[in-house]
Structure 1
Amino acid sequence: MRTKGLRGALAADTEIGAGNVLARVLAHGADPQGPGLTFDTAVDGHPAGQPLTLGQLDERIAARAAWLHERGVRPRDPVAVWATGAADMVLSFLALARLGAVPALMNGKLRPEIAAEYIRRLRAVGVLADAAHAELLDGHDLGAPLLGRPAEAGGGDPAAAPAHYRHHDDDPVVVTHTSGTTGVPKAVLHSHASLFAATRHLLSMPQAQGTGRILSALPAPHTATVLMVNQALGNRAEMFLLSEQGGERVLDAIQRWRPDGVFGFSVTWAELARFDLSGYDLASVRLWFNTGDCSHEPHVRRLVAVGSRDVMTRAGVTRVRGSVFIDGLGSSEMGHSMFHVTHTTDSDRYGRCVGRPYAFARVAVLDPNGNELPPGQVGWLGIDSPSLFRGYWNDSLTTYRSRLRGWYLTGDLVRADADGRYYHLDRAVDSVDAGDGRWFFTALSEERILASCPDVTDCTVVIVRTGDTVVTDVLLELAAGADPEQNRDPAVRAALGPDLGATLRRVLPVRADDIPVTVTGKVRKVALRERYLSEAPS
């Protein structure tokens, strides 16, 4: 079957969902010798960096399913998976989904006490943990036994695997978690149908350039990785999954593996922007795809200046210098980015524009009572989409508090323009209502500072209101060779604008390591508010 026909057949398949993409791709006649997945660690003796074919991938999943089934794992059993390697995460997800169990994928950077409490709240029936994380859990009450290391499951007998579980649309298929900015992260539940809704839509559309050979720099335990693995399998694309997403690691992988598309979070693009990219061979890259938090203009501009892309001219399709960056706004709960905007070297629409919603999503800007606001007004982002999560696992209180008049509230403040484009201004918890209709936004302020200060590679704005007083601190990460003693206060104050600029207390050069971040790299501004704004002015 031709790939184009296969994509259409998958999009129309009423049985397919996030829990059985591999099986349905094979059932529709995909070549078992075609691309499966490639990992940066060895898999059951298969060398790191060497692709697994589709058939080999299916066999390795069957082996793990048999091993797990022998240890009593059954449909709808939650099983926690705590590891570092992308192979451990992805193969465990696929094997547990094959059994109809509920894999709960955990970021390897969680603190042990947080991880243990998270597992207890899951009420898991068992835990898969690699050697390093099993040691970290030693002595903690998990409420569940350790089943073994994820890699051990590869020793199962593929022939002994039970038949693939037949999923219903509403069956739970995976639990991932939020960044955990204030403690134990929220456990986000997706169903067989919800986590495939966006993929079904994309399979019905023409395949975009830059999606034939994908480097995944996404955190392996994140919802986005599950989504992109299923999209790659459905597109019959090659995919190389990294276990670590640092800038040097990503640049090295691009040069060695030569992908046409790189998928990641904004934190990775910010790291790449610290490098002189002209010194690297990035010619293969046509597409940078961002999900999670939207990206800052200077970071995007550095990336689209390298690589190349195809454009239609009078002479036909022509390859030109400069790649494409697709930005948006997503989260574990959204199940896929809800918006998309395309940037090239010619783009001039920034200012935290996240573009227009995907066709499968319905979005609105809401007031605190859930009423829709007109273009130009700032409000809460509300979403209604078949791709939305089903709720927070074992936490119905938080689930219902996130809903308002049929909308899921993301916690973001946005505005729309008259042309239907949306602009992300800030997380609501990081913004400040200054009264008299004035709002101060940290994320939008960071965008403006970066655009105004070329020797600043990244920055963090922290704003706190105490009574009638608003105080702002700005933390700057400087480019190599930049003078840390230079007075940047006037430039920063001008970028902030007269109202917020009047609240500026200090501008501090910092190192990246000075900024507290979550396990997915998001800045913990709540910690910075406590650290910096509790101090007396210098």
Structure 2
Amino acid sequence: MRATSIRARLASAPEVGAGNVLTTLVALGGDLDRPAFTFDTPVEDVSAWTALTVRVLDERVRARAAALHALGIGKRDPVAVTATAAADNILTFLALARLGAIPALINAKLAPEITALYVSRLGAVGVLADEARREALAPHGVHLLAPIEDLGQADPAAAPEPYRFHQGDPVAITHSSGTTGVPKAVLHSHSSLFAANKHRLRMPKAQGTDRILSALPAPHAATLIALNLVLASESRLLALSTQTGPSVVDAIEQWRPSGVLGFAATWSEMAKTDLRGRDLDSVALWWNTGDCAHEAHIRRLISLGYREVSTREGRVRKPGSAFIDGLGSSEMGHSHFYITHTTETDRYGRCIGKPHAFAEPVVLDPDGTELAPGEVGELGTKSPTLSLGYWNDSVTTYRTRVRGYFLTGDLVYRDEEGYFYHVDRLVDSVDLGDGKRLHTALSEERVLNACPDVADCTVVAVRTDSGVVTDVLLQLDAAGDPDANRDEAIRAALGPDVAATLREVVVVDEDRIPLGPTGKVRKVALREQYLKTLAAR
């Protein structure tokens, strides 16, 4: 069956969703010997950096499904999965999905004590973990199942027939970033985690999506969406287990992807990496999801690589790549917005673009009333991609819903043309009084634009008895001078209201900035640190 026929079949078939793309491809009898997934760690007798064909991928998944079935795991069983290697996360998800179980993927960077508490709240039947995570979790009383490294040794022929999914069936539990404490367990359905992919499969295949490098954390919902999109599109995927700036750059040079998929933290990491002399010419597309990206980071990336453009003389290869930005979250299931940046575009200011056809976003005031263009409020959205809610937490599920909209916790506004702009997370924005607010994310954007040698910036604002106190923490790029005085430029960028709260501007090392497991800055932890420091003075 031709690739276009397979795409059309998967896009139109009502039974296809996030839990059965692989088994459907095998049943359709497509090209099972085409390369599909590449991992940076070995998979049994397949060495690292060697592509698994669809046939081998299915065999490796069936082996794991057989092992899990022998352990008594079946439909509707929530099973926690925590492992360092991307291969272990992805193959275990596919195997559990084949059984109709509910894989609960947990980022391996989550602290063991937090992981144990999270698992207890899940009510999981057990935990599948690699050696390092088993050792870390053993003192915390979690029920450890068979070592995840041993699952692939079972006989693939012993795997039961694939579970027959229905659209509303639970297919995975992923978790929020955990920047404010114990992560929230986000439940996805068979249909919700594939709804955006069905939309994309009905469209022409985008440039830069034939050969995708995923720098996303493997346990994240975005990875599950990406792996199914790649399977359904008959593309190729390299899934990295480590997403540091240097590791991503090294992988681009080695594997030569046409597209790179990552979070805003990925581009920040790359901004701190010396790219002089590095070969990134293969990249035509940078694809961001999660938090929207900073203009300064986008501009650096689109100056790299090449893309094809249409001219009177036909398609030509032109210097400079494209960057797709937007805004998404685990709960949203997929970015609900999109905007494409190239060296010819100039709509920034934290613009997250226009909504996808499957999303219905609005800007709401605290009472749930829709606001007019130009007014900042909380983002509410409806979409078939939305998660079912929070596993074992109906209180939080319903607190984040109003009038059928999911409240994302983001502060945004839209303009008269229908473009949306992100200014901050609600929990990070500070009321300055007299109708004025300090938006930390927007302030960081302005500082980065004002200081070209600053690779990343974190604005910390805390309320004390004497008022709001703000510090600006800078991380410099490879050529940045740590002794340069940037105070005047930063005050001008912040504007008079925010600048009036500024206490100091300081260059810091990476270890000064606490990060969550997905690379997000833990601003709650930073504020707590600053309040303790200020109280001690």
TM over 0.5: yes
Deviations 1:123-152 (A, max 9, x none): 11121110111011112222xx32212221
- Provide the TM-score with structure 2 as the length reference: 0.98
1:200 and 2:195 equivalent?
A: no
Written as runs of structure 1 = structure 2, the 5 A alignment for 1:34-433 is: 34-142=34-142, 145-433=143-431
**Partner secondary structure for residue 280 of structure 1:** coil
Distance 1:357 1:467 in 2: 42
* 1:435 aligned residue: 433
Q: Which amino acid in 2 is paired with 1:29?
A: G
Question: Contact 1:452/1:495 (CA < 8 Å) preserved in 2?
Answer: yes
Distance 1:118 1:463 in 2: 29
Distance 1:275 1:518 in 2: 20
Q: Which amino acid in 1 is paired with 2:340?
A: T
Distance 1:198 1:150 in 2: 30
Distance 1:369 1:468 in 2: 30
Distance 1:352 1:372 in 2: 21
Question: Contact 1:285/1:308 (CA < 8 Å) preserved in 2?
Answer: yes
In structure 2, list runs of 5 or more residues that go unmatched: none
Question: Contact 1:473/1:532 (CA < 8 Å) preserved in 2?
Answer: no
Distance 1:382 1:400 in 2: 13
Q: Which amino acid in 1 is paired with 2:347?
A: R
1:16 and 2:16 equivalent?
A: yes
Question: Contact 1:278/1:306 (CA < 8 Å) preserved in 2?
Answer: no
* 1:460 aligned residue: 458
* 1:479 aligned residue: 477
Question: Contact 1:329/1:354 (CA < 8 Å) preserved in 2?
Answer: yes
**Partner secondary structure for residue 139 of structure 2:** coil
Distance 2:524 2:144 in 1: 34
**Partner secondary structure for residue 62 of structure 1:** helix
Distance 2:465 2:315 in 1: 60
* 1:517 aligned residue: 515
The structural deviation recorded for 1:159 is 0.9
The structural deviation recorded for 1:517 is 0.7
The structural deviation recorded for 1:481 is 4.2
| Greater mean deviation of Cα atoms: 275-284 or 424-433 | 275-284
Question: Contact 1:472/1:506 (CA < 8 Å) preserved in 2?
Answer: yes
Q: Which amino acid in 2 is paired with 1:124?
A: A
The structural deviation recorded for 1:468 is 6.8
- Provide the TM-score with structure 1 as the length reference: 0.98
Q: Which amino acid in 1 is paired with 2:189?
A: S
**Partner secondary structure for residue 42 of structure 2:** coil
Distance 2:481 2:198 in 1: 51
Distance 2:150 2:286 in 1: 35
Distance 2:40 2:147 in 1: 18
Distance 1:137 1:465 in 2: 37
The structural deviation recorded for 1:316 is 1.1
1:503 and 2:509 equivalent?
A: no
Question: Contact 2:274/2:477 (CA < 8 Å) preserved in 1?
Answer: no
Deviations 1:68-126 (A, max 9, x none): 00010010000111110000000000000000000000100111111111111111112
The structural deviation recorded for 1:293 is 0.7
Question: Contact 2:35/2:52 (CA < 8 Å) preserved in 1?
Answer: yes
Runs (4 or more) in structure 1 with deviation over 6 Å come to none
Q: Which amino acid in 1 is paired with 2:25?
A: V
Q: How many residues align?
A: 536
The structural deviation recorded for 1:370 is 0.9
**Partner secondary structure for residue 139 of structure 1:** helix
Report % sequence identity. Answer: 61
Question: Contact 1:39/1:241 (CA < 8 Å) preserved in 2?
Answer: yes
Distance 1:276 1:398 in 2: 43
In structure 1, list runs of 5 or more residues that go unmatched: none
Alignment equivalent of 2:530, drawn from 528, 532, 535: 532
